[in-house]
Structure 1
Amino acid sequence: MRATANALSREAALLYRSGRFDAARETYGRLLERDPQRADDWVNYGLLLRMKGDFHSALCAYDAALEHGAARAEEVHLNRAVILVDDLAKPEEALEALEAALDIRADYVPALLNLGNIREDAGDREAACHAYGRALELEPENPMALMRLAEVTRFEGPDDPLIARLRKAVAQAGRTALERADMGYALGRALDECRQYDEAFAAYRLANQASRGLAPHPYDPAGAERFIEALIAAFPSRGNEASGGGASPIFICGMFRSGSTLVERILAAHSHIKAGGELPLLPNMVRERLQPYPQSLAGQTEAFYDRLRGLYLEGLARMGLRGEGLTDKRPDNFLHVGLIKRLFPRAKIVLTRRNPLDNCLSVYFAHLDPTLSYAATLQGVAHWHSQYERLASHWQALFPDDIHFVDYDLLVADPRNEVRRLLEFLDLEWEVACLEPHRGNARVRTASAWQVREPLYKRSSGRWQNYAAHIGPLLEVFGEPGNP
């Protein structure tokens, strides 16, 4: 039996390395049914189950690995923590898993970094600083520890020792492109906080140069325009509204850094709303099942959309969520409004807007995924902003009663009126708590995590003026406010 089990283990590992994940999963399943004592194979099986989206079964696999004495048990606990916080929104259980990992190895830096992330998500700045600081003590050259500690630190002046460490790290030879990006964005944020705007912009410029080096291809304006044209062509009309679709989340989307997190926090302060955060369900569906998108939707039947709707709802159920009273706040879901309205004809869509100079500058300063290659140049982000407005106008024309625009600048200038309009659009009763979103306890996992934990403020409106000397490409496209 042992020889057969070893052969199956080798076969499963080979299938995994060759990218045949379904076959690898099935082989590990057969192997572990025959010989459940194989702890390391349980670990691999758990990884594959998570890739499939079967999160609870993945946790069971990791539990079996621990039960049977897996080597490097601290890594197994870490894997459990990642599923619990990222996939199942159970941060308290994730903390228990991280504490178990640190009980095994108190110097286990990956667990400390994840512990800091969870504390940061919860708004516990002091605990996050402690975890990141401990990680940096253990590994003084760890770029992630330095970057994360800088992100949660309040800086009072440019002579802060942590800024000196960031400057040194940015200038250090031999850094990878990812490390240069991590350090550059963190240094830019620190200097911006200290009002050292010229040096901050220089740091952001270097960070974006590094980010461009990580992108699989440069931003293609003509290709972006063709994609938006294809989306408009794929959804020329409202579709079959009689198909129903049942209760759905409230979808909040728009340009990155245009206020979507703040809108979700405002709604999450309402007694009838739960914040879902940046759910991956729609993007995963498009990537895994609907390629080439949106051409694959041509001629599809209502039964096809019924199946997709079921997959979305199943995904919510796996995370312990239900559609009614939930927000799905994924900024780039603005690309999928047509698909959303096919799946959920009664869905309400909230699109966010902001002064384009502030919005584009904030995107340029954000440490976004390098695949969003438009974000790494001012010209690219300005062009993508125009494509967003073009598509948003199309959606508004198709679904005028089901789309509501929230203007960030109006919201922070006159919150009572703008929040009231938002709640009326969603058929929600007025609740004064929505004017104090910073008091809510919903977790926040975006670049604006700390801003939305403060009372509503106006200081981000007009921020572009601090950088007017550096944003010629944006001023050429949008002009200065009030100067056509």
Structure 2
Amino acid sequence: MAQVSPQIKTHFAEAQQAQASGRYDVAKALYTKILRLNERLPEVHFHLGRLEMQRGAPKKAIKPLRRALELKPTEPMVWRLLLDALIASGDSSGADTLVRAAQSAPLPPQTARELAIKARTGNRSGEAQLGGADPVAFQQAVQLFESGQHAEAAQAAEALHHRHPAVAPILAVLGAARAALGEIDAAEFAYREAIARDDSYAEAHLQLGQILYVRGNYESATAPLERAYELTPDNPLVARFLGLTLLQRDRYAMALPLLEKAAKALPDDASLTFGHARALQTLGRHDEARTLVAPLVDAPDAPPSHLCLMGEILSSLEEQDAARAQFDRALATRPGFGPAISGLAWIAQQQGKFDLSAEYFTQASADGTIDGRLARAYASGRKMLADDPLLPGIQAAYDEGTELPGSRADLTFALAKAAEDQGKTAEAFEKISLANALLNERFPIRSRMVRDLYQRGTTTWNAALTPVAPQDGPRMVFVTGMPRSGTTLVEQIISSHSTVTGGGEIGLLSRALGDRQRLAMAEERSVSPSQLQAAAGEVAEQATALASGAPVLTDKAILTSSNAGFVPLVCPGSRLIVVRRDPRDNCLSMFKNRFRDGTHRYTTDLEELAHNYLAHLEGLAFWRKHTPDAFLEVRYEDLIADPEAGARALVDYAGLEWEDACLRFYENTRTVKTLSAFQVRQPIYSSSVGAWRKFEKELAPLIDILRKGGALEEWEA
């Protein structure tokens, strides 16, 4: 979408994501809002029509598709989908009229012929035609292939191709035979030729996508598989391979509905089930992922990758003993299996068993299985001096130059931590910057993400909204702030109380409000009372399940502060604590730490990080003005300077009686799943205060933006 405002680009990206994940009401509302801003955008009309087709409403698709055709009469996809809508609606007269118009339209002759065949036959399946080729000879080639006589099938298809070079199905059979013979380049060429001859032949797009997927060319595989899905949305194999391809590209939300669709038709496909479960696990739907993986790991010969996924799921569900058992099974199946060692090391580290985690790291190093994730975990749990026994192994893994971008970034972060621990400041910052550049390539920055979050909260709230009726369930204590601001420390103090269950970064409020706010924004209104009530019910239900009977549950989701004004409305009687820290220290800590794939992308670029931090402060200022009693602000430095006074104030604000255990938070045995797992197992220390000074020169661009934005006034006073 060239030459449109950033606002429209943001809305369009959100609409496409919502459409891909099956949230059609949100997508439609966003497309409609875009068209109110600029009606002359053919892509938006097209996707609105496509959305209606996906919802099974072809008659509603016709109007936006006709408008898309008016605005962009040279786009074959619009002609094809409009014809599909007319055929599906039973409008044969409209279909004939469209085909006649195509004959004189500025379209490739091939497209006009395809439309004519489709209208005549009612074919919306993407099946190609044989033209003048002998169908008996074609079937013989197919039968040779299906019977395993691949060389003979290739010979027969080659002969047919010489006589009929423009027939796509012949090229597809030739491609399949070449692939079966291991002639992958020749197979890819044949499929590309088939597509060039007939772009509507879904089978050729599917087979090309499969070839590219198997070769690991996931980005290249996406386009042909998307085209195959456009042509044959009900084909489970197309949904399977497109979903798995998107999964490999970390597009979990887009992959999930495709994998769900494919799984209904292919329930016995273990690879599909594994991918489906991976998507669910990554998106935080751990119970559903567990249900899918359970049959896979029940088999005595379960692959170690399946066992490790179950281990990750069980760890997420706080069933650490069961998780360890799965990782141990994986190691028994394949000694030295890196993901299993990594899983065991992570569990030990999150539980504060750092000596045990070091044993796993040492085992991984001895087996030569150190991967980036493991190296980064090891580095985060100790000071890595020059004589560290594992440092040579990490350096060797880095020097080998793994092509996996995620692992490469993790190894770089680990070496950056070692350089910083050894006082090599310039080298440390150079490696931190390199690691962030690698992440930036893999997960491009979405500009001003924090600003957009606060905008969603502030524009869908209004002062006339009233709190919902109190819900049954635990009372919530929300702890929030920017990443690396000290939220984990604050939650650890409160969750050390005997009446509190520490939930970690569960994000109940933001999840419950998310789509309701998106819909309200698209319709340019505030969240309605009925939406608040529904959100409150969701929060209470999920909180009850997570609290394990405790009367109080903490939720340490980052940037719940963007919805600060909604906390007393959705969760009456709850508390919200916003943690703040010197912006220079806070931003440095974000920049030099690695977050979960695809999250907090703004932290990989100093200028973008500074602007997002300013947006956080601006959003807080809005809530401070309009809902001053909705939250308590805590300065990390004040808590560090006087831990007991700070801890007592936090416990009191949370509505709890004081317990000495809250000052011994580092003895809390609960699992801590954040980057601060090591720090919160130690008594409070002040070495991180003012850490930015070591990198003052390198941080100059960020500091300049923060200072001009007024973020440093209270810290430099």
What residue in structure 1 maps to residue 460 of structure 2?
Answer: 234
Q: In 1, are the aligned partners of 2:429 and 2:698 still within 8 Å (CA)?
A: yes
Q: How does 1:262-273 map to 2 (within 5 A)?
A: 262-273=489-500
Query: Is 2:633 the counterpart of 1:405?
Result: yes
Q: Which whole-Å deviations, capped at 9, do the CAs of 1:215-241 have from their partners, x for residues lacking one?
A: 233x534x7546544532322427202
Distance 2:403 2:297 in 1: 36
Task: State which of 304, 314, 338 in structure 1 corresponds to 2:565.
Answer: 338
Query: Structure 1 vs Structure 2: percent identity of aligned residues?
Result: 24
Query: Which residue identity is paired with 1:368?
Result: F
Query: Is 2:577 the counterpart of 1:347?
Result: no
Q: How does 1:68-217 map to 2 (within 5 A)?
A: 69=299, 72-86=302-316, 88-140=317-369, 142-155=371-384, 157-160=385-388, 162-167=390-395, 169-170=397-398, 173=401, 175-217=403-445
What residue in structure 2 maps to residue 63 of structure 1?
Answer: 294
Q: In 1, are the aligned partners of 2:501 and 2:550 still within 8 Å (CA)?
A: no
- Cα 1:449–1:482 shift into 2, 3 Å: closer
Per the normalisation by structure 2, the TM-score is: 0.58
What residue in structure 2 maps to residue 3 of structure 1?
Answer: none
Deviates more, 1:47-56 or 1:352-361: 47-56
Query: Which residue identity is paired with 1:147?
Result: R
Distance 1:52 1:365 in 2: 25
Deviates more, 1:347-356 or 1:319-328: 319-328
| 1:210 CA drift (Å) | 1.9
| 1:27 CA drift (Å) | 7.4
- Cα 1:354–1:173 shift into 2, 3 Å: same
Q: Which whole-Å deviations, capped at 9, do the CAs of 1:394-437 have from their partners, x for residues lacking one?
A: 22333333311111100010112222222221221122221221
| SS in structure 2 of the partner of residue 241 of structure 1 | coil
- Cα 1:197–1:292 shift into 2, 3 Å: farther
Distance 2:639 2:287 in 1: 40
Q: How does 1:207-356 map to 2 (within 5 A)?
A: 207-217=435-445, 220-221=447-448, 225=451, 228-237=454-463, 239-241=465-467, 243-246=469-472, 247-285=474-512, 290-291=517-518, 294-295=521-522, 298-317=525-544, 319=546, 321=548, 324-356=551-583
- Cα 1:12–1:64 shift into 2, 3 Å: farther
| SS in structure 1 of the partner of residue 657 of structure 2 | coil
Query: Is 2:699 the counterpart of 1:471?
Result: yes
Query: Is 2:657 the counterpart of 1:429?
Result: yes
Q: In 1, are the aligned partners of 2:296 and 2:302 still within 8 Å (CA)?
A: no
Distance 2:631 2:666 in 1: 25
- Cα 1:225–1:108 shift into 2, 3 Å: closer
Deviates more, 1:352-361 or 1:88-97: 88-97
- Cα 1:402–1:48 shift into 2, 3 Å: closer
What residue in structure 1 maps to residue 123 of structure 2?
Answer: none
- Cα 1:45–1:159 shift into 2, 3 Å: closer
| SS in structure 2 of the partner of residue 362 of structure 1 | helix
| SS in structure 2 of the partner of residue 402 of structure 1 | coil
What residue in structure 2 maps to residue 380 of structure 1?
Answer: 608
Q: Which whole-Å deviations, capped at 9, do the CAs of 1:294-338 have from their partners, x for residues lacking one?
A: 546834432222222233334345556468411000122222323
Distance 1:360 1:106 in 2: 41
Distance 2:415 2:284 in 1: 36
Deviates more, 1:72-81 or 1:347-356: 72-81
| 1:175 CA drift (Å) | 4.1
| 1:277 CA drift (Å) | 0.7
Distance 1:81 1:297 in 2: 44
Q: CA RMSD in A?
A: 3.4
Deviates more, 1:294-303 or 1:186-195: 294-303
Q: In 2, are the aligned partners of 1:313 and 1:322 still within 8 Å (CA)?
A: no
Query: Which residue identity is paired with 2:308?
Result: L
| 1:135 CA drift (Å) | 2.6
| 1:482 CA drift (Å) | 6.8
| 1:103 CA drift (Å) | 2.9
Distance 2:282 2:674 in 1: 23
| SS in structure 2 of the partner of residue 249 of structure 1 | strand
| SS in structure 1 of the partner of residue 578 of structure 2 | strand
| 1:342 CA drift (Å) | 3.4
Q: In 2, are the aligned partners of 1:286 and 1:293 still within 8 Å (CA)?
A: no
Q: Which whole-Å deviations, capped at 9, do the CAs of 1:239-266 have from their partners, x for residues lacking one?
A: 2025334554211000111100000111
Structure 2 gap ranges (5+): 1-233, 244-254
Distance 1:57 1:446 in 2: 23
| SS in structure 1 of the partner of residue 697 of structure 2 | helix
Structure of higher CA gyration radius: 2
Distance 1:70 1:42 in 2: 18
Distance 2:402 2:261 in 1: 42
Q: Which whole-Å deviations, capped at 9, do the CAs of 1:434-466 have from their partners, x for residues lacking one?
A: 122111112111111111111111111111222
Distance 1:48 1:107 in 2: 26
Q: Which whole-Å deviations, capped at 9, do the CAs of 1:52-82 have from their partners, x for residues lacking one?
A: 9765465344333344x37534333322222
Q: In 1, are the aligned partners of 2:462 and 2:526 still within 8 Å (CA)?
A: no
Distance 2:590 2:344 in 1: 27
Deviates more, 1:140-149 or 1:123-132: 140-149
Distance 1:408 1:119 in 2: 27
Q: In 1, are the aligned partners of 2:468 and 2:533 still within 8 Å (CA)?
A: no
Q: In 2, are the aligned partners of 1:238 and 1:399 still within 8 Å (CA)?
A: no
Moved over 6 A (4+): 29-32, 37-42, 51-54
- Cα 1:436–1:260 shift into 2, 3 Å: same
| SS in structure 1 of the partner of residue 656 of structure 2 | coil
Higher relative CO (Cα under 8 Å, sequence separation at least 6) belongs to 1
Q: Which whole-Å deviations, capped at 9, do the CAs of 1:121-178 have from their partners, x for residues lacking one?
A: 11111221222332333335633333333333432x3354544554555565564443
Per the normalisation by structure 1, the TM-score is: 0.83
- Cα 1:56–1:377 shift into 2, 3 Å: closer
